[in-house]
C-alpha cells in the first residue's frame, strides 16, 4: 500500500467495505476503510507489526515478497492477540523466515513454528526491546484499551503504530468520536486518566507519523499532535468526568 516514512515504515493491507456488518462501525456509516499492518525495515532484517485480516492474506504476502529480500529474517510483533492482528501468521511463515512472534496478554498466539515471545508491559508504561537484530522499538502499553494492547514506537522514524486507536483517519465525518465506537464503556468511566495518558505519550516522544490498524495514517509532527489532542478531548467528553487535558 506504500511507504509511511522515508522507506523505513511500509504500510500493508487493503480496504474493506465498512458498514453494519463490521463490529467497530458506528451506526449509519457506509464507506471504504483501510485495514493496515506495517513493516519496519531494519539493516539486517525486518519487523512486521500485525499480520492483517484473512481477506487480505494473499495481497499481504505479495506485498511482503516485494519488500523483503530472499531469506531475509523477519520478526512479528502483535499489537493485540485478536484475529485481525494474528490470523495470517501461519501463511506468512510458509513464505518467509519468521524467527519470533512477540505478543502481550494471556491469549495463546495461533499455531506458529517461530519462537513465541510473550512480553508484559504494565499499563501506562513502556519498554524498549530489540525485536529484530538492529531494530529496537518502544513497546507502549496505553490506558486506551479493551484487551492488553501494545502501541509500537519506532524511534528511528518517529512512527507510532497504534493498533485499534486513532482509527478515524479517512472518515467521512470529522468527529474523532467515530474512532471510539468500540470503546463504548467510556460512557460510564472516569476517562480523565486515559485522556491524559494519550496526551503524555505524544508529549514525551517525537511522533512524526501515526499508523492505526484501521483507517488512514496521519503524517507530520503538527498533525499527529493535533490528532492526539483531539482524541484526548473526545475521550474526556464521552466519560463521566470533565477534567480538561492541557
Delimit the domains of the chain by residue range.
2-238
Counting residues of the chain whose pLDDT is more than 70, the rounded percentage is: 90
Q: Beta strands of the chain (E only): which ranges?
A: 2-5, 9-18, 31-41, 46-49, 73-77, 97-103, 115-118, 126-132, 135-140, 151-154, 159-161, 209-211, 218-219
Q: What is the pLDDT of residues 182-196, one digit of tens each?
A: 888 888 889 999 999
Comparison of pLDDT for 180 and 222, the residue scoring more:
222
Q: Look up residue 94 and give its three cell numbers.
A: 510458509
Mean pLDDT of the region 211-226: 95
Q: What is the CA radius of gyration of the chain?
A: 17
Q: Which of 3-7, 11-15, 233-237 has the lowest mean pLDDT?
A: 3-7
Give me the residues paired with residue 100 across strands.
75, 115
- Considering the domain delimited by 2-238, tell me its CATH architecture: 4-Layer Sandwich (3.60)
**106: pLDDT strictly greater than 90:** no
Q: Which of 26-40, 52-66, 219-233 has the lowest mean pLDDT?
A: 26-40
Q: Which of 71-80, 163-172, 235-244 has the lowest mean pLDDT?
A: 235-244
Chain-wide mean pLDDT for the chain? Answer: 90
Sheet holding 159-161, edge to edge: 126-132, 135-140, 151-154, 159-161, 209-211, 218-219
**66: pLDDT strictly greater than 60:** yes
Cα of 169 vs its chain's centroid, Å: 13
**138: pLDDT strictly greater than 90:** yes
Cα-Cα-Cα-Cα dihedral sign, residues 213, 111, 124, 134: negative
**Which pTM does this prediction carry?**
0.92
- What pLDDT does residue 176 have? 58
Amino acid at each position: 500500500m506504500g511507504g509511511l516514512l522515508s522507506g523505513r515504515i511500509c504500510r500493508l493491507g487493503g480496504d474493506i467495505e465498512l458498514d453494519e456488518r463490521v463490529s467497530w462501525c458506528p451506526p449509519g456509516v457506509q464507506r471504504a476503510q483501510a485495514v493496515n499492518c506495517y513493516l519496519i525495515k531494519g539493516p539486517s532484517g525486518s519487523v512486521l507489526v500485525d499480520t492483517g485480516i484473512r481477506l487480505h492474506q494473499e495481497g499481504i504476502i505479495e506485498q511482503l515478497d516485494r519488500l523483503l529480500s530472499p531469506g531475509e529474517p523477519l520478526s512479528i510483533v502483535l499489537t493485540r492477540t485478536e484475529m485481525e492482528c494474528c490470523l495470517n501468521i501461519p501463511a506468512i511463515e510458509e513464505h518467509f523466515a519468521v524467527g519470533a512472534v512477540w505478543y502481550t496478554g494471556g491469549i495463546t498466539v495461533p499455531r506458529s513454528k517461530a519462537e513465541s515471545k510473550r512480553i508484559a508491559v504494565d499499563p501506562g508504561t513502556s519498554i524498549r526491546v530489540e525485536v529484530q537484530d538492529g531494530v529496537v522499538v518502544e513497546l507502549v502499553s496505553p490506558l486506551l484499551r479493551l484487551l492488553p494492547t501494545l502501541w509500537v514506537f519506532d524511534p528511528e522514524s518517529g512512527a507510532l503504530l497504534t493498533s485499534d486507536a486513532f482509527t478515524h483517519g479517512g472518515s467521512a465525518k470529522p468527529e474523532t468520536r467515530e474512532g471510539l465506537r468500540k470503546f463504548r464503556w467510556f460512557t460510564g468511566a472516569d476517562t480523565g486518566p486515559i485522556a491524559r495518558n494519550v496526551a503524555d505519550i505524544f508529549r514525551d516522544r517525537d511522533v512524526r507519523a501515526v499508523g492505526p490498524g484501521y483507517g488512514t495514517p496521519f503524517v507530520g509532527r503538527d498533525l499527529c499532535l493535533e490528532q492526539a489532542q483531539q482524541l484526548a478531548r473526545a475521550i474526556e467528553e464521552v466519560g463521566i468526568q470533565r477534567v480538561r487535558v492541557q
